[in-house]
Amino acid sequence: MKNKNRPSVHSFVVGFILVALAVIDWHDQSTTTPPTSVTQSAPRGPLNVRKEIHDTWLTSLDQLSARSGDPELLEIRDFVRSHAVLAEPIPGDVRLLSTAPKQDPWFSFVPMIETDETLGDPWQAFATQPFMGSYVPYQRVMIVKDFLIAPLWRGLVFAHEGWHAKRHLTGQTQKNGDWQHCLEEVGAHSFENRVARSIGGTPYAEYIRQELKRIDAELTRVNATIQQAFPNPPTVYDFRLDQAFGQALSDTDRENRIFNASVDAMFQYIDMNWRIPHNEKHGQKAAILCTMYRKNGIL
């Protein structure tokens, strides 16, 4: 069931980038990240485990969609449901575990489990990278890992990757490259931020207000613009993120929320404080994201 029209996964092993401390997105440079645990696979057949992970992710996306009602999110949910084909990793490639839709553009959905690290690269490399989800455009593969993560946040991670998949498969993404990647991420995060606000209620709004104050105070302290000195995300997890999105179930879950909320606050800060045209704001946000990625060894 190999798609012969695509280059092998192996040839694309260098095409990854870490995002938000735990989410990988596409890119054209290799990254080095410390090893981390990957999955909590039960002692069952891998096919059943992959199917369970696949179903869990889709259920989370459904829950998020029902809670949010955001029209674009609903489109992405429908796109993912009708275009994702369950697949498993094999050495240097993927193998479909269910029938591909007759119509393109479909993509392979690969839930990774612990034993996949024995399949050699690129799977061994992926296994050591602490991402929750990743969409790889050239391979048309979305890879997800079964980290312990609360359902609504898992749905949000899935929605973010689904946004990339839909953009790519409907021909809306630009050529690859650092700068283009950062511009694309502004779109993905803007969408994700909006959905987060739609379900986060008062606790999330208060958390962001506090973040905006913190950013302002920090910039005043160092006498710099946000582009010159965007403050690092908080190091302490705030319980309001639990109130907003359900109790976090792991450090990965918590770190990802902190980072993404920090991006939301940064975007809002620029929108509220900078009197420049919209397209220039998009570029400024991309520039800061690039800086944040570089700080975290992502670019």
Which residues sit at the interface with Zn ion, rule CB under 5 A? Answer: 19, 25, 188
CB of 227 to Zn ion, least distance (A): 21
- Name the minimum Å distance from CB 83 to Zn ion: 18
Nearer CB in complex with Zn ion: 25/146? 25
Pairing type for strands 141-145 and 133-136 reads: antiparallel
As a whole number of angstroms, the distance between CA 92 and CA 122 comes to: 7
Distance of closest approach, residue 5 Cβ to Zn ion, in angstroms: 25
Closest residue to Zn ion, Cβ-based? 25
Q: Which is nearer to Zn ion, 19 or 110 (CB)?
A: 19
Asked if 142 and 135 count as a contact pair (C-beta separation under 8 A), the reply is: yes
Pairing relationship of beta strands 141-145 and 107-112 according to DSSP bridges = parallel
The smaller minimum CB distance to Zn ion, of residues 151 and 162, is found at 162
In the complex with Zn ion, the residue whose CB is nearer, 25 or 264, is 25
Q: What is the spatial distance between Cα 256 and Cα 210, in angstroms, rounded to a whole number?
A: 18
Tokens 């839930």 map to which residue?
111
Residue 77 beta carbon to Zn ion: minimum distance, rounded to whole angstroms: 17
Q: Which is nearer to Zn ion, 181 or 240 (CB)?
A: 181
Q: Is 146 helix (H, G, I), strand (E, B) or coil?
A: coil
Question: Which residue type occupies 214?
Answer: R
- Least distance between Zn ion and beta carbon 103 (Å): 26
Q: Which residue has the tokens 């994700």?
A: 192
